[in-house]
Structure 1
C-alpha cells in the first residue's frame, strides 16, 4: 500500500482526500516508479480544489509533475535504478499523476534526469521552469537578444514568472517584472534579478490597441487583457511568448501590433512537446540554474499538506514553487 491524493466526484462535486492505494490499482504502463518528489502547479491547485475543469476522468490522482526511481520496467530503454521525471502529457488531468508514492507510465512519457540535477531539483524546476525555458528558447529563435531591450515578465511571483526572470537575468537580459505584490520587490529584484517592477493593474484592464512601445519581448502567463496590453506595448519586431491564462482565456486584442509593428505572438504548449525538445530545454536548465536560485524560489511540504497548500496557491498566497516530498 502507498499514500496518494485521490480526487473523486459525487453529485457533480469533486473532493480530494489523502488515501491509501495498492499497486494493482495503478493504471497499466511499461515502467513502475517510486515517486520521490512532485510539485504543486496552478493546474494542480485547480484540480485539487475543484475550482477549474482540469480533471477529465474520475477517480484521479493529481500532479502534473513527478520525479523518481524506476523499480520495474518492461521497456529496454529504462532499467531498475534509473532516475526519471515526468512533466505534462496530461498526467493529473487525463491519467493518474504524481501526487502519489508510486506511478506506472509508458516509457515514451519519461525524461531522464540530467546528471547535475537531483530528483528534488527537477521538481523545484518542474513544469514552471521547463515552460519558462521553452518561452526563452522561443524568444531566442525570433532573434531576441539582450541588446534588443528590456523583457517584460507577467505573473512575476508565480512559478513560471520566477524562473523566467531568473533565467533571463542569468542570460544577461534586463527584466521588468509585473506583479500585484509590490511588497515582494526585494525578492523580485535582489533574489531573481529583475531591474524594474511593474504594477500588474496597469496591464489588466482594457487598453488601446496600440500603445507606447516599451519592451523588446515578453513572457506572459496571464492572458486576457494583460496579454492584449502586452502585445500592444512591444517594440518593432518584438516577440511575446504566451504560456498561461491565469486572468482568462479571452484575448480582446487588435491586429495592429502584429501588422504595424511586426510583433510575433508565440504560443507555448509545454504539455505535449516532443522528447527531443524536452531534452534540449532540460539540458539548458541544468546549465543555468544555481543552488541559490533553487533554494530561494522553493519550499518543501509533505504529501499530507498538499491539499491545504493547493488552496493557498489558488488564492495567490504562495510565491515561487511548492515541492512535495513523497518519501517523508
Structure 2
C-alpha cells in the first residue's frame, strides 16, 4: 500500500469540489494493472469534470483526468510486466474509474495500451484524447471513402487541442485543410501546422438556403450548434462531416436535403468508448504515418496537479490555446 497525491473530485453533503489530496493505492478503483503515472493532459471534458460545470463523473469520489501514460508497477495480467510503458485515454477514466490526475492509477488490462515504440510517454500525452479523437475522425472518414481529391477539409475550433492536432494529422495525410477559428490572431501558428487557409468563424454564417455551394470535401466539427448547421449544406456530394464536440451548443437546426440530395454522411466521433481493436489501429497510425510533426508547437503549457483549477477556468472561459500537458511524475526524457 502506497500513499500518493491525487486531484480528487467529490460531490456530497459538502458540495461539489476538486483538489489535491493524499490517498492510498488500496482506495483506487479496480483494475489488473497498477501504473505509476508520468503524464496526463487537460481536455475540455476534464475542465467540465473538475469544476462541476458538466456532470461527467458517474460515481464519487474519483480522481480526475481522462488521459494517462506511465509505467506498470504490478500486473495481474501476464500480458503486462513491471516496467512496461502504457497509455490510456477515455475508457471510463474520470467517469467510473480513477483517472490520470494522480501519481498512481489502476487500469483494467483490456484498456491498457502498450506504448508504441515510436512514442515517448510525454508525446503520448501531447496527443492524448485530443489526438486520438482527431485521428479516429480521419480513420472513420476514410473508411467511408473520404479522399483528398474531394476537396478541402474544414476544421472548426481550430485553435483548440483537437483542432490543432487535426490540422497537423489531416495535412500530413494529404488533405488541404481550412482552419476555422474565433481566434484568428493565431493564424500564423495554424498555418505552420499545415492549414492552407485560416478563416474567422464568421465565415460560417447561417446558410441562406437548404443547400449552399458545395465547397468542402468534408469537415471535422469541434463546435456543434450553429457552426455544424452552417457546415452541413456546404459539404460536397458523398463527403463526410465528423462531429466530436459541442462547445457551441448541442442543438442543430437543419434540413434533410444534404443527406438525401448529396448523400452527405454525418459521423459521430465518440472517442471515450471506442472498441479496443479500433484503438489499436488509431494508435498505430498516430505513432506512424499520422504522427503529428508539430507536437511541441501544439503543446502550449506544462503544468502540475496544483495548477489544474486555474487551467480549467481558463479553458471554460474560451481563453486556452493548444494543448496543456500535465506533469504528474514524468520528466521530459521519458
> Distance between the aligned counterparts of 1:297 and 1:291, measured in 2?
9
Question: What does residue 200 of structure 2 align with?
Answer: 199
Q: 1:99 to 1:207 in 2, by over 3 A?
A: farther
> Distance between the aligned counterparts of 1:126 and 1:221, measured in 2?
16
Moved more, 173-182 or 302-311: 302-311
Question: What is the CA-CA distance between 1:94 and the residue it aligns to?
Answer: 2.0
2:276 paired with 1:275: yes
Question: What is the CA-CA distance between 1:309 and the residue it aligns to?
Answer: 1.0
Moved more, 111-120 or 87-96: 87-96
2:299 paired with 1:320: no
Question: What does residue 130 of structure 2 align with?
Answer: 128
TM-score by length of 1: 0.95
> Distance between the aligned counterparts of 2:205 and 2:76, measured in 1?
50
Question: What is the CA-CA distance between 1:205 and the residue it aligns to?
Answer: 5.0
Question: What does residue 142 of structure 2 align with?
Answer: 140
> Distance between the aligned counterparts of 1:4 and 1:127, measured in 2?
20
Would you identify which runs of 4 or more consecutive aligned residues in structure 1 move more than 6 Å? Answer: none
Question: What does residue 294 of structure 1 align with?
Answer: 295
Q: 1:322 to 1:204 in 2, by over 3 A?
A: farther
Contact 2:286 2:292 in 1 (8 A): no
2:37 paired with 1:35: yes
> Distance between the aligned counterparts of 1:8 and 1:207, measured in 2?
47
Instruction: Please state whether the residue corresponding to 1:195 is helix, strand or coil.
Output: strand
> Distance between the aligned counterparts of 2:283 and 2:309, measured in 1?
28
Question: What does residue 285 of structure 2 align with?
Answer: 284
TM-score by length of 2: 0.94
Aligned residues: 327
Q: Deviations over 1:110-131 (max 9, x none)?
A: 1111001001110000010011
Mark the runs of 5 or more structure 1 residues left unpaired by the alignment.
Answer: none
Contact 1:209 1:229 in 2 (8 A): no
> Distance between the aligned counterparts of 2:206 and 2:272, measured in 1?
29
Q: 1:116 to 1:56 in 2, by over 3 A?
A: same
Question: What is the CA-CA distance between 1:68 and the residue it aligns to?
Answer: 0.6
2:252 paired with 1:251: yes
Contact 1:208 1:229 in 2 (8 A): no
Instruction: Please state whether the residue corresponding to 1:39 is helix, strand or coil.
Output: strand
Question: What does residue 264 of structure 1 align with?
Answer: 265
Question: What does residue 235 of structure 1 align with?
Answer: 236
Question: What does residue 77 of structure 2 align with?
Answer: 75
> Distance between the aligned counterparts of 1:253 and 1:162, measured in 2?
27
Q: 1:276 to 1:254 in 2, by over 3 A?
A: same
> Distance between the aligned counterparts of 1:10 and 1:203, measured in 2?
43
> Distance between the aligned counterparts of 2:198 and 2:322, measured in 1?
17
